[in-house]
Amino acid sequence: MKHLFIALLSLISISSFSQTKTENFNSNKLKESREIVISLPASYEKNPTKKYPLLILLDGDYLLNPFKSALNYDTYWDDLPEVIIVAISQNKKDERVADCGSIDETSGMPEGKSIDFYDFIALELLPHIQHDYRTTNFKIIAGHDTTAAFLNYFLYKDVPLFHAYISLSPELPQGMEQQIPEILSSLKQPIFYYLSTADGDEKNMQEKIQQLDNKIKEIKNPDLNYKFENFKDASHFSLVLHSIPSALYQIFSITLPITPLEYDNKIVTLKEGYTDYLKKKYDIIENSFGIKKTIRINDFKAIEAAIMHNKDYNDLDALAILADKNYPKSMLGDYELATMFEQKGDNPRAVRYYMSGFNKEEIADLTKDMMFAKAEELKKTFAKKPKIKGKVGQETDSKKETIEETPASETPATETPVTEEKKQ
């Protein structure tokens, strides 16, 4: 079973990321060449107009694989969006300390090489990636201990450079546990902030992180999306594997398919506006992350179920319009209209749309056979013309009518000729 799981992850890894590139970036700020590794999603080459959120990894030499694996797995199941990952290598001796640990003890601000590293990311690396690769404006940064503390400095600008911060067991410099809450409380733009610690962290680190958490929890800022986790029985290093999927799901929670919990608590309880809820969900995905995403079929079915449950059949009209916009060649829009008219008792119109859908592409569990069968069943409910009573040649109440047999030579071309069964 273990080998099967490893094989599955390997398959997902190969299929989900089509290209991993290593570049030696010549930095004027650092006055040296710095290795960066870029992982592009599988759809990057297949869809030349699609753009992706950007994830910058400090400690990229060891954080790349766990982040990449988590995203591979979750994008495979369509839970999370695809992301471009840029990992900054800091694996040379004392390199990460020089990059992120040169902090003035009095002010708690970067100095020396750490200022250069900050400028390298802000003024060189980000413009390069955004120029050469198709990224949305949504940017995430992540780091561990020393680099996890350093990434907070990107919050200190009037307009923070990143939209989401993943701080894994940060080794906070003097005063940062007071400075960050002040900054987060005065935010004027939406920010995601993830913070974690573990039993295996040094006691001094844990105390500062807990102080930071306590102060952030007091903030009443609707623009702040904050999550803190304290992992029991986890080491300073195993904490990373616990934190990564949790942080990613926090940031991209709105992009998830409609879950049973969301359906029960937020959708079916609405009095109206079920289709509007679906439109707003995907509008937020586009406006927040720059991701233009086709509405999932299962999300359509969830909204349809809520409409049917609450008998708000007129809302199926709006759902049909949305279906035609997302799946213009499919029978989904016609199916929603046919269902609406059927539920309202207008069977002739329902039949018309079932048959219209019959001529379009099948989608999910909607098939041509099903659409045709629904139409034929409803046809039986139509008002029928009265049949002529009596046998051939007999008089009826009002008139005498004779029905002659049609000669075989005059059988209509559209009818199947009747043949005599062969005698055995």
Confidence check: pLDDT of 122 > 90 = yes
Cβ contact 74:163 at 8 Å? no
Average confidence score pLDDT of the chain: 89
pLDDT at residue 35, rounded to an integer: 96
Architecture of domain 2-255: 3-Layer(aba) Sandwich (3.40)
Q: Which of the four pLDDT bands, split at 50, 70 and 90, describes residue 31? A: very high
pLDDT at residue 11, rounded to an integer: 45
pLDDT, one tens digit per residue, over 183-235 is 999 998 999 999 999 999 999 999 999 999 999 999 999 999 999 999 999 99
pLDDT at residue 19, rounded to an integer: 87
The whole-angstrom separation of Cα 151 and Cα 100 is 9
Neighbour count for residue 104 (Cβ, 10 Å): 13
Amino acid at 123: L
**Cα Dmax for the chain:** 115
For the ranges 72-81, 104-113, 206-215, 326-335, the lowest mean pLDDT is seen at 104-113
Cα–Cα distance list, 79 to 170, 242, 282 (Å) = 28, 18, 14
Q: Which of the four pLDDT bands, split at 50, 70 and 90, describes residue 386? A: low
Mean pLDDT of 96-124: 92
The whole-angstrom separation of Cα 41 and Cα 251 is 18
pLDDT at residue 13, rounded to an integer: 45
Q: Which of the four pLDDT bands, split at 50, 70 and 90, describes residue 92? A: confident
- Between 380 and 92, the more confident residue is 380
pLDDT at residue 107, rounded to an integer: 82
For the ranges 83-97, 243-257, 275-289, the lowest mean pLDDT is seen at 83-97
Percent over 70 (pLDDT), the chain: 86
CATH code for 260-379?
1.25.40.10
Percent over 90 (pLDDT), the chain: 81
For the ranges 16-30, 67-81, 133-147, 331-345, the lowest mean pLDDT is seen at 16-30
The number of C-alpha atoms within 13 Å of 311 and in the hemisphere containing its C-beta is: 1
Mean pLDDT of 286-301: 96
Amino acid at 299: D
Q: What residue segments make up the domains of the chain, in order of their start?
A: 2-255, 260-379
The whole-angstrom separation of Cα 170 and Cα 149 is 5
Confidence check: pLDDT of 424 > 50 = no
